[in-house]
Amino acid sequence: MGIKMHKRGYIITDKSQRTNLERVYAAGDITGGVRQIVVACAEGAIAATSAYDDLRKNKSKGIK
C-alpha cells in the first residue's frame, strides 16, 4: 500500500491520526505509544473527526 511504518512495525500518523496516504487514518495499538483502551478510543475519535473534516473539505471542492 505504501503506508509509512516505524522500524518497530507501527503505522506512522500525525497529530490528527492521518497517515501518509490520503484518506487513510490509523488509531490505537497499531500506531504505537501507550497501549490502553482509553488512548485507543481517544485516537479513534480524533481519526473520525479528521476524516469528517477531510470529507467536508473535499465536498466543498466538488470531490467525491
Distances (CA, A) of 58 to 12, 15, 51, 55: 23, 20, 10, 5
Q: And the C-alpha cell for 9?
A: 512495525
What is this structure's pTM?
A: 0.84
* Domain range enclosing 21: 1-64
d(CA 51, CA 57) in angstroms, rounded, equals 10
The DSSP output letter for 40 is: H
CATH classification of the domain holding 42: 3.50.50.60
Sole residue written with cell 518497530: 8
Number of domains observed in the structure of the chain: 1
Per-residue pLDDT of the chain (64 residues; tens, 9 = 90+): 699 999 999 999 999 999 999 999 999 999 998 899 999 999 999 999 999 999 998 877 766 6
